[in-house]
Structure 1
Amino acid sequence: MSRLRQAFAAVAVTAATVLALSPATASADDPAYKVLVFSKTAGFRHSSIPNGIQALRDLGADNNFTVDATEDAAAFSGTNLAQYRAVVFLLTTGDVLDDGQQAAFESYVRAGGGYVGVHSASDTEYQWPFYGGLVGGYFHSHPAIQQATVRVEDRAHASSAHLGNDWVRTDEWYNFQTNPRSTARVLARLDESTYSGGNMGDHPIAWCQPYEGGRSWYTAGGHTEGSYTEPAFRTHLLGGVRYAAGVTKADCRAETGYTTLFGNSTTGWSQAGPGSFALADGTLTSQGGMGMLWYSAKEFGAYSLKLDWRMAGDDNSGVFIGFPPSDDPWSAVNNGYEIQIDATDAADRTTGAVYGFQSADIAARDGALNPPGEWNTYELLVEGERLQLFLNGVKINDFTNTDPARSLLQGHIGLQNHGDGDEVSFRNVRIKELSGGGDERVGQITGLAGKCVDVDNSGTADGTKIQLWTCNGTGAQRWTVGTDGTLRALGKCLDVQSSGTANGTITWLWTCNGTGAQHWVEQGDGTLRNPQSGRCLDAAGNSSADGTQLHIWDCLASANQRWVLP
């Protein structure tokens, strides 16, 4: 919101039906980079490998990246991999790398490299745990090639933003040994009622995730030769390469438990003030103003609100929170807070700012922001009077309300239509109300390789080891993030042994006692800092093996020090 005029009229949302299956805009403005395409097979060999290589070469020529294609595993050396922004495992099968090559690739990913897996990349390297976590799920089985309907869940990611809600195509549809939804952001899933042979129920088919310092994107499509001439599939593949290479940003954190407030219908929403939003193909686009479309059906307290947005150019809009019910948009201005969307303005009035109150962390914001014409994702995490703002999965603002005239404890949410010429679009507005409606959050804490912070053997005795372990949903992995800075499980606290401050001091479970050994502070880079020692929670030896001891170490923001809290 910039300069809201005090005038309003009841204007209904305009509806239209439009299909959005055209290819995405080419990305020739990306910086030049190189991609390694690896297609070695030690099992079934797909006839579509040459088609896939040629498609990637064509996409590179149009989008400013160069493709080197090889089946020589010797390419997996530290020196050689360093020249590539992403490595594509194209239709690989079986064991294709030796131990030294695996180690080089692990180091590449942990240093920020990107991975793209296509189709049978999930039928590769079953005995390599790092790779299993990276690809997200191993192949189980498949029925005959046939047509099916893909339900698109994420229409902000560059690999799926061009698709409609449904994508009907023909391919060989994989079943997977495990469901990746708990560790990766599912971009699309199969509707098993539209074909024969699915055995998963909830059936992800494309996903992405940040992984041990790097980025991973996988699609199960691409078995057939014809896939690589389909415009929609080629754009899907291009978006995966761009994400893995880090030239487009996305929130690829796992996402569960959200309720849709806007998907394809504005039921529950009301327009306040002049102007409106055009509705087409699950997209709201602001027109005229100044006014606001607000969710009038319910007020919210503690919650995580996520939404996707896109500016056409140097446009202006925002997300209002914490305001009382009213048909006057000034109520949101005077009683709530606006999270700004604006390409150019003063620091406290541009994208990521709490408008007029607090600027975003500009460096973090600029590093996470996609330019006009591309989609971005906001998460507004509201707990008590505290608001944390994430842009494409990166924290860019942390604000606490101290104004007695305003409160984040309860209120409505709204989307601003700023005025003529300001065209900002929104998709997929969803919310997760936090347990108890209060400040504390409860759930798993995940870290390296998507594994969970775990109390050894569910023990409750003082001194029980705190470790990394495969997530299993037990109480030993259910943590309460306390408003007092504690992390609690099984009725006790995560504690630094004997209040130690040296590197390598282990953590254990201990009776909560209010000491500095039990105080943890979330940092913007994903680390958990113990202020008493000045050090961070760390998985020993950078290991993701079950049973890895958690201890404290100098804060490096390395993959084994980054944690996702509930």
Structure 2
Amino acid sequence: MKISSALFSGIAFTILLSTQLINRSVGDNNFNQTKNNKLKIDTPDQDRFVKVNLVQGQFTEPTEMAVLPNLDILVAQRRGELMLYKNQSKKLIQTAKLDVYFKTGSSDVNAEEGLLGITIDPKYASNQYVYLFYSPTGKSVNRLSRFKMVNDMLSMSSEKVILEFYSQREICCHTGGSLAFGPDGLLYISTGDNSTPFDVPKQEFVNKGYAPLDNRPGLQQYDARRSAGNTNDLRGKILRIKVKEDGTYTIPEGNLFPEGTAKTRPEIYVMGNRNPYRISVDKKTGFLYWGEVGPDAANDDDLRGPRGYDEVNQARKAGNFGWPYFIGNNYAYKAYDYTNGKNGAAFDAVNPINNSPNNTGLENVPGVNPAFIWYPYGESKEFPQVGSGGRTAMAGPVLYNKPGVSPYPDYYNGKLIIYEWVRGWIKAVTMAPNGDYLSMEPIMSNLSFSAPIDMELGPDGKIYVLEYGKGWFSKNPDAGIARVDYLKGNRPPVIDRLTIDKPSGLLPYKMIAKVKATDADGGKLTYLWNLGNGIKKTTTVPELQYTFTKSGAYPISVQVIDNEKATTKSAVVSVFAGNEHPKVSILISGNKSFYFPGKAVNYQVLVSDKGAAVGKERIYVSNAYTEGADLAGAQLGHQQAAQTLIGKSLMTKSDCSTCHKISETSIGPAFDKVSAKYQKDPKAIEYLASKVIKGSSGVWGEVPMPAHSAMKESEVKQIVEWVMSLSAKGNAVPSLPASGKIIPPEIINKNKPVLTLKASYSDLGAKGLIPLTTTTTFNLKSNIINFADVKDFSGFNVRNNGAFNLPGNAGWLKLGLIDLTDISAIKINSSSLVTEVDYDVEIRLDDENGKLLAKNVLSKSTFPIENSADGKFHNVFIIFKSNKPAIKNSLFVRTITMEAK
């Protein structure tokens, strides 16, 4: 679910589910070699990176930070507060409150302005100068000022206004606002294009997420050529100046336009920016890096131009980086007439023209530089490591080890760190000596950050991360500052999971808790168990048995300690003493692996609730056809869990929580409001899941939700089911009877081949305890087994044309978890390039030499099988053999159909 491409719409908000499958595989730069090309240096162990939380839950919309020489940290908050984290006392104090414009008076519009950027003077230790970029109230400008810190407080009377420029308000978006000093003492300031990415209301021809090029009178905010594409405007730029002691500034050599050039601003170092939200300057080379938050269009369009891309950019010298004429690898937009919907020619990267009536600068603007790294919502062919989903590119520091201070391995020396606000990954980019891109790979991949919005190197050489938190325009409990350490010696234990064999029970309730933990250094582990209500136990084995005699909900956690006193604490798992989860079972008569077109599936739901009578009105039964799971996957058969917890867990692991909260409005609607709105819609789950996967806009406001095509439909539906459970109105969709039959359609949807039966039951709770719910699912696969469902095979190759290919004389395919009840025959859909070559086929039970169920030549295609049904699940081997000479790539097997009696 996207957040506009601004940060704050601007921070390209896109919620991707987790599990939107962000690719964290190691890139192609996973080793270095010595001159003799023999010594291999592996990527450093990622579990040696440790996140140290310095402060958490006390920030309200933090935007940028500056680490002081004594390791105190100044943090700018968008609403105007300047916060100071004291390294010695570990306390957070407010050191100033600026009067800033941070909230618009327009309905359904979120302002992004406020206190946006902060940096400190290179000579801070002697002059205590702090630079702030902010939006003062009462004047439509963005302002760069210098202040002085005095006794941990910002002296407001010391303000020197260095630079300010007009910024249109009352409609978002794109502020930029990042500040950074280069190694030569020059100050860089990023500014957004101050243009809205949304569509003009009630118009036939609108932007639709492409480059905003609308030059109709009165719609200046929909034309980024007036700002980012304008050589005479400071918006949509990265500026570079030399600040003098008196607070004025001079223009350094090498900026894009020499002083005195007509219709230009000499402060401009880089132009053609949409929202360069976070910048960084290489302290050795002086190269400028920034993350460019890109536009929202999901697909290329012949009429308009390319889809949206986010970019990480590198400027070795002054230049034009294209917006709004180009995006990504100089992909050109086309001129567009918003009065009639007709397009013009694509822009020319060598000689771009700005002929907008809103342009006050040069008509012939400088030629365009391509992006350094670029990626769309979908998967990137050029940079597959970035994954897919929401986009909010950020540029961090280039790592260098200082003499005597080497907090990280030399492996990372000279690598650029980039990160993603929405997707959550952090990458190390390897470059050639001249700065050319070579590769990227995960760094700190075992660590989790909540919407990292700034990343700085401290004077100790360590990385500090400012976390905005997962929630928009609010005080987030996960907002904070973290320091990243690298453990060169002993490492703390790693907890894989904490499990409770039976998380509820009547009194006396015997709980058995088990933790799976490992110590990479081979240390002996001790386990300190916290059972809530002051109950603590210590064991030397990873298991605890404890009997609760008092009713209540108990939060269970465990702290694992190694022999050097390094510790790790588990997540909390709640158990319930005095009430027990009900048991819910689904019984299927007939085949328990497959369903068949038009043939009834008979089912019965059984519920038992220890210590209480079962209320039949609280049984809820439903069925759906989904994309489902692999044939041999663990989702076939019974699955018992609290379904709402599964959906909530999937949501938490995704970036949904970035844009939505349960009961509070963020950049997206609150989940409980979504639930209430669709409670009476019997097709709500299908509809909302489709919206998540395909994308949506205009339902809850201007902020679009992008497509999430890489997400599994089954997981999206579990999330939606959890959302729908939040409304107090309950389920409006009527339940199926507790026992009955479901008749599948005569034609099975090949994209939704799994029939899922689901049964839930909620008890009435117990004294002092909430009701407990158990949900069971039973999955039946379509009787047509696609080649992609077969995971085990020998002698075959998988072909891109949707088939198995047998290049030689023999091979086998194994079908797992097969119930042969009511199966009369197995039909093999195959083809051969050589008709005179036939194959002998054997179908055997459990292994290659198991009981023979059928035997014939392949050309017969259908193989009646001996009745071997025993109600159990078996492996079924289909074995192919030919006595004739192998003819390469001659046989193709596409589907296998189980035929019913």
Relative to its length, the structure with more helix (as a share) is: 1
**Structure-1-length-normalised TM-score:** 0.27
Bigger radius of gyration among the two: 2
Q: Which has the higher contact order (CA 8 A, sep 6+)?
A: 1
